[in-house]
Amino acid sequence: MSEPVTVWTGPDGLPRRFVWRDRLFVVRRVLEHWIVSRDWWREQHPESAEPVERRFWRVEASPDRESGVYELRHTPETDEWTLSRVWR
């Protein structure tokens, strides 16, 4: 799964809200955060347009009373956000 989402972040850079499939989700808490660097890929394939870094957040969020766990991915180079995974 990799669907584009609109994300609003706080002053600390953490995701606070996001829109997925026309629904607004409020982030209740950040469960995990990690960064994946792709520098090794560019060294082996310099012609690749593969982004250098991707940031991931696993968050607990909800559009109403029921919450789920969502994995958001941000590519700083292009400022694109996607929803990578959902656990309900």
Least confident of 12-16, 24-28, 36-40: 36-40
Averaged pLDDT for residues 12-25: 96
Say what the pLDDT of residue 51 is.
54
- Report which of residues 71 and 44 the model is more confident about: 71
**Residue 20 tokens, joined:** 């997925």
Average pLDDT, the chain: 88
Cα–Cα distance measured from residue 62 to residue 12, given in angstroms and rounded to the nearest whole number: 21
Cβ distance 52 to 38 under 8 Å?
yes
Cα–Cα distance measured from residue 23 to residue 4, given in angstroms and rounded to the nearest whole number: 13
Cβ distance 15 to 7 under 8 Å?
yes
Neighbours of 72 (CB within 10 A): 24
